[in-house]
Amino acid sequence: MNTLLSLQGRHALVTGGGRGIGAAIARRLLSHGASVTLLGRDAATLAATADTLAEAVVSPAMLCTVAADISQADSVAAAFADAAGKAGPIDLLINNAGQARSAPFGKTDLALWQSMLEVNLTGTFLCTQAALPHMLANGWGRIINVASTAGLVGYGYVSAYCAAKHGVIGLTRALALETASSGVTVNAVCPGYTETDIVRDAVANIVRKTGRTEAQARAELAKGNPQGRLVQPDEVADAVAWLCQPSASAITGQSIAVAGGEVMAG
């Protein structure tokens, strides 16, 4: 455990908390003393992840789970009320849940387009609206959107995903200005290709469509990173935890790439 416990007494809700980056973020926030709610669509996955995080918890009350579909307003409202009832109002919101599907633009149908916007952008909007009123009333809060380098630059064959993640960056910047004098900060963390289920699915897709080996497919994804590797979930979690700190109060409206130098701010 972190002996400083800098987030003790704070309640964090992590969407997409059942695996990958979300689970890594939850572990890191627990180590700083925060209570954490894992939110996701699959209750069984959430429960399994909670079991693996149990050793990082001083008290069972510090960790709970709630199932919801973040693209549906009623589901979000019910889940956030449930989480607040279990662990108190939400002080730290980590909008991490997301999906990535690829297709050439000409084969991107309306269903794919809407699904990417609903999960990656509308879900961020709905969860933020659910959490923000308490933060404003309390004069303190942290909203961190796990976007992507796809929100900072363009990538071929993922136009819907890129559009959604660019939307998340725009939302981050606009809301940061609205809340600048309130004690609430709003930032985005933008991972490059990270060792997650999304990347494993991308590797499988490359193998299936091109006949390359898994190693070749992974190397293709990693070569965009000047460090020549995939980002690890714990590296993203460290950036998120830093932005959650009380000492990060002057940092708002930023989109921080965690990508080995792939994207650099001008």
Among the listed residues 155, 157, 161, 193, the single catalytic one is 161
pLDDT at 72 over 50: yes
Checking if the pLDDT of 170 tops 70, the result is yes
Residue 2 lies in a domain: no
Return the pLDDT at 147.
97
- CA nearest neighbour of 144 among 261, 6, 29: 29
DSSP string, 183-209: TEEEEEEEE-SBSSHHHHHHHHHHHHH
Question: What is the model's pTM?
Answer: 0.92
Tell me: do 28 and 140 sit in the same domain: yes
In a shared domain, residues 18 and 36: yes
* Domain identity same for 156 and 201: no
154/164 Cα distance (integer angstroms): 11
Does 220 reside within a domain? yes
Q: What is the pLDDT of residue 5?
A: 85
- Top pLDDT among 260 and 201 is at 260
Res. 2: pLDDT tops 70: no
Residue 25 lies in a domain: yes
Largest CA distance in the chain: 55
Residue 107 lies in a domain: yes
Mean pLDDT of 166-195: 97
Same-domain check for residues 213 and 242: no
Average pLDDT over residues 174-183: 98
In terms of domains, do 148 and 223 share one? no
Q: Determine the average pLDDT of the residues in 64-76.
A: 97
In a domain, 180, yes or no: yes
Clarify whether residues 72 and 93 are in a common domain.
yes
Is residue 1 a part of any domain in this protein? no
Q: What is the DSSP string of 204-238?
A: HHHHHHH---HHHHHHHHHTTSTTSSPBPHHHHHH
Q: Give the CATH number for residue 19.
A: 3.40.50.720
Do 221 and 142 share a structural domain?
no
Q: Which two tokens stand for residue 161?
A: 């995903």
Number of domains observed in the structure of the chain? 2
- The residue that leads in pLDDT, 120 or 209, is 120
Q: Are residues 32 and 109 in the same domain?
A: yes
Which pLDDT belongs to residue 76? 98
Enclosing domain of residue 24: 11-192+233-257
Mean pLDDT (whole number) for 89-113: 96
- pLDDT tens string 208-256: 888 888 888 888 888 889 999 899 999 999 999 999 999 999 999 999 9
Share of the chain above pLDDT 70, in %: 97
The answer to whether residues 30 and 154 belong to one domain is: yes
Average pLDDT value over all residues in the chain = 93
Q: Residue 8 — left, alpha, or beta (φ > 0 → left; ψ -120 to 50 → alpha)?
A: beta
Mode of pairing for the β-strands spanning 63-67 and 92-95: unpaired
User: 128 with 112, same domain?
Assistant: yes
Q: Examine the residue annotation and report whether 193 is marked as an active-site residue of this protein.
A: no
Q: Are residues 60 and 117 in the same domain?
A: yes
Average pLDDT of 105-132?
98
CA angle 119-107-207, nearest 5°? 80
What pLDDT does residue 234 have?
96
Evaluate whether residue 5 is within a structural domain: no
pLDDT band at 1 (very low <50, low <70, confident <90, very high): very low
Identify whether residues 147 and 162 lie together within a single domain.
yes
